[in-house]
Structure 1
Amino acid sequence: MSRQFTLRSTFPFWLTLCLLLSLGSVGVLGTTPALAEGRRQNAAKQMTKREDGDFQLRLGQQAEQQGQLDKAIFHWLKAANIYQRFGDEESLGLTYDYLGEAYVSLGDIRSAEDAFRRRLAVARDRDDLQAQMFALNNLGTLFLKEGNLNMAEEVFSDALAIARSVENALTAGISLNNLGLAAALRGNYGEAIKRYNTALLFHREAKNPAGETLTLTNLGDAFLYAGQGDNAIIAYTDGLLAAEDIRDVDNQFRALEGRYLTRRMMGQTDLAFKALNRWSKFAREQDNLAEEFKTIENAAFFYAELGDRQQSEAFLIRALEVAEQIGALDRIAFLQQKLLEVQAASR
């Protein structure tokens, strides 16, 4: 769904027509020039107020681009108030989209939920099915974050029902992917796999490569946790290729990590190290120290599992150094304990 905002004209067609009719009927109705002028001033004042909303919306967009989310929210709340006062539901709905996404970025889930609920209400008032589907999926994603799987599945199913009723492949794919996530969180990996596979059909019908990439990596996760290693490798490999095609770095990392974890689970040591090295190399190419830290930590644990304490100790020391660099304070105490255990076992 595009969030691009288009400025409305200074005088929309319907208002211009009303002004022309009122001015053209002065002689017939006996309207005085002063009254006509008053009408013009009132109309201009209303449009100024609407333009104030547009101005606040743009200020919020600019603040968001500068990473100033609190400031962006301040301007968008002002815009929402103006649009609500003048009954501009289209712009009001757009503003709630902005607010919801900003609150999510700030981790304010309650405020995000309120914004998306308001967005859904506006969409229903306008009978805007497309906006309803996106609002429902946004709400469901918040419910997933909160662990409220029942509510998540309910709203995702509502979105899917609308999508199927209007034959909208794009949002059908998104909704089914989200339903797959809900099933996976329940530990029902068989159902998750079914939903992801159906989602892929809709993504391909809608020509949605971003959705297809995300679902492929989700499918790889479901196969991995279901213990279906061969299928997991296929899904992760397909996901990696799809992610490379659209330069989706996040899902490239997910697929690379998934391939390593799957090879390790399957006991394929050589292939696991090969997958780990490729993951590590990509992290360095992207200058992503957080991902590189994950590869170093995994190497330390893998060597310990294989009984190579010397290599495990070396990677644990390196992992501690990087953890301090990236501020991963929650990992430092854990890694220090592991290092002590390895050193004690080596004596």
Structure 2
Amino acid sequence: MKQSNLLAAAKFQSSSYRARKQFPKKLNKAFGFLLFSLLLSPITVTAADITEQLHYPQIDKKVLQQSRDEADTLLRLGERQNIEGNPNKAVDSLLQAKEIYHSIGDLNALGLTYEFLGKSYIELKQYKKASDAIRRRLAIARDTKDFQSQIFALNNIGTLLLQKGEFQTASQTFEQALTIAQNLSSSEGYGISLSNLGLSAARVGDYNKAIKLYKNALNYRRKVGNPIGEANTLNNLGEAYQIVGSYQDRIDTYGAALRLAQASRDNINQLRAIDGLVAAHSSVGRYNSAIELLEKRLAIASYLRSPREQLNSFESYAQIYEKLGKYSTARNFYERAITLAKTLEDSRKELLLRDRVTQMMKKS
């Protein structure tokens, strides 16, 4: 089963805003694992580029507070829109918040706004804008000496580099984040940095090293009580075990990820864990167990109203029934997947599915 968005892999996180506004913790862990190919230009934005642009007009305190309240409302709205799957609307809200924070010189809130903008642009596949937002977030964190936010910004930049194929530079960036985490004794920073270093090792084929890094990362993610981060690292570990581990290693690891994701209502990691379990069970012919898991997968996809995840579910069903020699049932699921591919205007996927049906029917 194909792995869902690695963008399940390094989440955008922040601490700078917590001290001033009581944002829910899960919003500060909105997302961490960006994934898919994109171009990243060199990090040329400096703190001075941003702070020199800021101006501090003499505004009446009441007007200043009204402006800040308006920006805070827009920031919350943008993050909620991100969570609800409306990145276009989120960008509109966040850009308005950015302008207000810029005008009143609120660097901490401006940094958080850039962080959320990065997430929105990633969802929209506007990767150049996303990388610019992330770099600006890092520049502000450095200017304000917000070391915790520097850790997460560096991890996000490293993940972008990783997806671009610049493995050595990505590892160096994760190492920078890890060094800051060590200096701060930040368990949260340790967890995400070690997990991403594990991803980097896996990308160059060093799965034994990746497994050690993931296991170490899990200690810190459990220590801070970060179930989403822990589930993500467990899924990464499961993928490494898929290459070098035993069937039982995979079942235990993906099973733990699924339980955590269910408890925290983390749908993305639930889908990843189910995909891993389906692949593990299928590899040893336990197709009934795989089909039971796919029922859960399809229910989640339907709940999310995600045609893409529904398509993936139907394709998995089709592949299992094809292995079982139940070609008529398999064809039915392939056809349902093809219909969704048309809806998504994914002509490449549609062509691949049609070819799969043709090849299968030659066997029937």
TM-score, length basis structure 1: 0.77
Which residue pairs with 2:298 in the alignment?
Answer: 283
Asked if the contact 2:278/2:293 (under 8 Å) is kept, the reply is no
Separation of aligned partners in 1, 2:241 and 2:190: 22
Query: After the TM superposition, which of the residue ranges 324-333 and 143-152 deviates more from structure 2?
Result: 324-333
In structure 1, the partner of 2:92 is 71
Structure with max Cα Rg: 1
Q: Distance in 2 between matches of 1:321 and 1:93?
A: 43
How far did 1:46 drift? Answer: 7.9
**Aligned match for 1:249, one of 243, 248, 267:** 267
Distance 2:321 2:227 in 1: 37
The CA deviation at 1:322 is 4.3
Mark the CA change 1:57 to 1:233 in structure 2 (over 3 Å): closer, same or farther: same
Aligned to 1:332: 350
1:58 aligned to which of 56, 65, 73:
73
Residues 79 and 95, structure 1, Cα contact 8 Å, conserved in 2: no
Q: 1:122 aligns with which of 118, 128, 140?
A: 140
Match of 1:259 in 2: 277
User: Relative to total residues, which structure has the larger helix share, 1 or 2?
Assistant: 1
1:273 to 279, 288, 306: 288
Counterparts of 1:137-148 in structure 2 under 5 Å? 137-148=155-166
Gaps in structure 1 of 5+ consecutive residues: 8-41
Q: Secondary structure at the match of 1:107?
A: coil
75, 98, 101: which one aligns with 2:119: 101
Distance, in Å, in 2 between the alignment partners of 1:239 and 1:151 is 29
> CA offset at residue 206 of structure 1?
1.7
Contact 1:303/1:312 (8 A) holds in 2: yes
Superposed CA RMSD: 2.9
Match of 1:162 among 180, 184, 195: 180
Quote the Cα distance in structure 2 between the aligned partners of 1:208 and 1:121.
Answer: 26
CA contact (8 A) 2:231 2:269 kept: yes
Aligned partner of 1:37 in structure 2 is none
Shift of 1:50: 7.6
Aligned AA (2:156):
N
Mapped to 2, the partners of 1:291 and 1:105 lie a distance apart of 15
- Percent identity over the alignment is 33
1:343 and 1:71, CA in 2 relative to 1: closer, same or farther beyond 3 A?
same
Mark the CA change 1:47 to 1:128 in structure 2 (over 3 Å): closer, same or farther. Answer: farther
Q: C-alpha distance in 2, partners of 1:239/1:312? A: 29
1:343 corresponds to: 361
- Tell me the alpha carbon deviations over residues 190-247 of structure 1, each in whole angstroms, 9 at most, x when there is no partner: 1111110000111122222221111111111110123532211110111111112222
Give the count of matched residue pairs.
306
Superimposed CA distance per residue, residues 271-330 of structure 1 (whole angstroms, 9 cap, x where no aligned partner): 233123222244236625543432332232334345444443343334334444555443
